[in-house]
Amino acid sequence: MDSQQFREFGKLAIDFVADFYDSVRERDVLPSVEPGYLSRILPEEAPEEPQDWKKVFEDFKEKILPGVTAWHSPQFHGYFPCGTSFPSIVASLLTDGLGMVGVTWIASPVCTELEVVTLNWLGKLLGLPEEFLNCSPGPGGGVIQGSASEAVLVCLLAAKDKTIRRLKALNEDLDEDQTKIKLVAYTSDQCNSAIEKSGVLGSMKMRLLKADHLGRLRAQTLTEAFEEDKRKGLIPCYVVATLGTTGLCAFDPLEELGPICETENVWLHVDAAYAGAAFLCPEYRYLMEGISYADSFSFNAHKWLLVNLACSPMWVKDSLDLIKAFDVQRIYLNDINLKVKIPDYRHWQLPLGRRFRALKLWMVMKTYGASGLKKHIRNQVNLAQYFAKLVRSDERFLVDPEPSMGLVCIRLVGGDELTRTLLNNLLEKKKLFMVAAFSKGRLIIRIVIGSQFTTHSDVEVTWKLIRDEADNIGA
């Protein structure tokens, strides 16, 4: 493909994406394909000969597109939102167009420098303590990880290294291997699967402690777990608190958990994958009270901040903890003498190569402005409240627990079986998508306001579909 063909193909693709969003309400939320559909219609071998791009694009529309779930339909209410916006899409295109790998500063100075600037901007907007910021005089700073999973794992590995260094300083004969197997991590049973997986990947026992009736990990539970393990000769090392759990969007109280971690020299990581974006709005910052106790904090801008996947900003109070844990040198990675404080980000993450992720964050922050981003968050919270109000007007339904951010959990008073039938029937019709969770032992349907295009009338459409199905099943 030459640059002229690229111009034509690219323009067609941009028009396609614009049309895709303009017609987002016309598509079923769930695709009508059966598992294995693609293998049946694609050839078994890769094409030997080059194909004309126009034909390839037709193939894309005919074969690939039908398998796409409409995440940006206002009737998509599953999981948490998948961030997207036009400026972010353009930034992704430019990033790929520039085609560079930011392994060191000199490998593309702007890759490192824009990340520093945007994470300072964003950290300030979120109200993070100054010590987390690159612009603070200390060793704190922000970096963009590819996912919340990576952030949690990187911090777990750094916590392991830090604990071993601390114990070694107390006892230079310490057997590191024997000590490592005694380290324990803690989180709540409401944690995302990614947290549990970080324990598996990082070879650290991860205890899922029982959350309270509102889905929060409480101080007493954590203290008891620490005490129990210490009695067994084990060593508490790492705690992951969640601000906005995946099931119910519950918030672990950092002001309770933080002092315990501080006293016990345990690394506290805060996973705010979805709800972290809400801290742009000062009225929600009470939910992160105690954040100054945290060693690290991460959230997914690619969930609720209109930035496309993947963009998980993470801040640490002491980047030396990462560098000491992950610094592996090679002569080909030697940077020029920078003479100013600039992070060598390859020590802050799992991969060596770095994508220019800061560009989309920068584009989004500039084109929306802080005011536009706050408006987006507040609008989605208001829509969730409106949906909850509609549900409460029907006595066959319960909203339980209280709506949190853009999430409303509902169930039928008629019981779990009826709620399950309602969900299954709705999914079969493909007009709505949502997933189930449990609250206080009862099955609930999670309805997340997922699309940035959602309006009050879209919320009414969702409610009508649910209510009509409740009529159908005689709820």
Q: How far is the CB of 79 from ligand PLP (least distance, A)?
A: 6
Give the one residue of 85, 149, 188, 419 binding ligand PLP; rule: CB under 6 A: 149
Stretch that binds ligand PLP, among 68-76, 206-214, 250-258, 267-275 (CB under 6 A): 267-275
Complex with ligand PLP: residue 78 or 164, whichever CB lies closer: 78
Rounded to whole angstroms, the Cα distance separating 127 from 446 reads: 29
Strand order in the sheet with 312-316: 141-145, 312-316, 296-298, 267-271, 235-242, 183-188, 205-209
Q: What is the separation, in whole angstroms, between the first and last Cα of the chain?
A: 58
Q: Which residues contact 80 (CB under 8 A, 6 or more apart)?
A: 246, 273, 274, 303, 304, 448, 450
Size of residue set near ligand PLP by CB under 6 A: 16
Q: How far is the CB of 39 from ligand PLP (least distance, A)?
A: 26
SS3 298: strand
192 near ligand PLP, rule: CB under 6 A: yes
Complex with ligand PLP: residue 301 or 390, whichever CB lies closer: 301
194 near ligand PLP, rule: CB under 6 A: yes
Q: Which residues contact 126 (CB under 8 A, 6 or more apart)?
A: 276, 279, 280
Complex with ligand PLP: residue 305 or 390, whichever CB lies closer: 305
Window 207-246: contact mask with ligand PLP (x via CB under 6 A): -----------------------------------x-xxx
349 near ligand PLP, rule: CB under 6 A: no
Q: Which residues contact 308 (CB under 8 A, 6 or more apart)?
A: 83, 84, 85, 88, 89, 92, 302, 360
Give the one residue of 82, 148, 237, 266 binding ligand PLP; rule: CB under 6 A: 148
76 near ligand PLP, rule: CB under 6 A: no
Complex with ligand PLP: residue 194 or 358, whichever CB lies closer: 194
Rounded to whole angstroms, the Cα distance separating 279 from 126 reads: 5
Q: How far is the CB of 195 from ligand PLP (least distance, A)?
A: 7
The candidate with the shortest Cα–Cα distance to 210, out of 403, 435, 440, 410, is 440
305 near ligand PLP, rule: CB under 6 A: no
Rounded to whole angstroms, the Cα distance separating 38 from 60 reads: 12
β-pairing verdict for 183-188 and 205-209: parallel
Q: DSSP class of residue 129?
A: -
Rounded-to-5 percentages of helix, strand, coil across the chain: 50, 15, 35
Window 369-408: contact mask with ligand PLP (x via CB under 6 A): ----------------------------------------
Other CB atoms within 10 A of residue 300 CB: 28
Rounded to whole angstroms, the Cα distance separating 385 from 101 reads: 43
Complex with ligand PLP: residue 83 or 397, whichever CB lies closer: 83
Q: Which residue is listed with tokens 């306001």?
A: 449
Stretch that binds ligand PLP, among 24-32, 146-154, 210-218, 463-471 (CB under 6 A): 146-154
Rounded to whole angstroms, the Cα distance separating 419 from 397 reads: 9
Q: How far is the CB of 92 from ligand PLP (least distance, A)?
A: 17
Phi, psi values for residue 298, rounded to 5°: -140, 150
Complex with ligand PLP: residue 279 or 397, whichever CB lies closer: 279
Give the one residue of 30, 76, 80, 469 binding ligand PLP; rule: CB under 6 A: 80
Complex with ligand PLP: residue 150 or 256, whichever CB lies closer: 150
Beta bridge partners of 183: 235
Q: How far is the CB of 240 from ligand PLP (least distance, A)?
A: 9
Complex with ligand PLP: residue 275 or 423, whichever CB lies closer: 275
Give the one residue of 312, 349, 439, 454 binding ligand PLP; rule: CB under 6 A: 312
Complex with ligand PLP: residue 197 or 324, whichever CB lies closer: 197
The candidate with the shortest Cα–Cα distance to 246, out of 176, 200, 194, is 194
Complex with ligand PLP: residue 221 or 246, whichever CB lies closer: 246
271 near ligand PLP, rule: CB under 6 A: yes
SS3 170: helix
Complex with ligand PLP: residue 237 or 407, whichever CB lies closer: 407
Q: How far is the CB of 151 from ligand PLP (least distance, A)?
A: 8
300 near ligand PLP, rule: CB under 6 A: yes
Say if CB 82 and CB 303 are below 8 A apart: yes
Q: How far is the CB of 82 from ligand PLP (least distance, A)?
A: 10
Q: Which residues contact 303 (CB under 8 A, 6 or more apart)?
A: 80, 81, 82, 83, 273, 274, 277
Complex with ligand PLP: residue 304 or 362, whichever CB lies closer: 304
Stretch that binds ligand PLP, among 38-46, 90-98, 266-274, 339-347 (CB under 6 A): 266-274
Rounded to whole angstroms, the Cα distance separating 378 from 356 reads: 29
Which residues form the interface with ligand PLP (CB under 6 A)? Answer: 79-80, 147-149, 192, 194, 242, 244-246, 271, 273-274, 300, 312
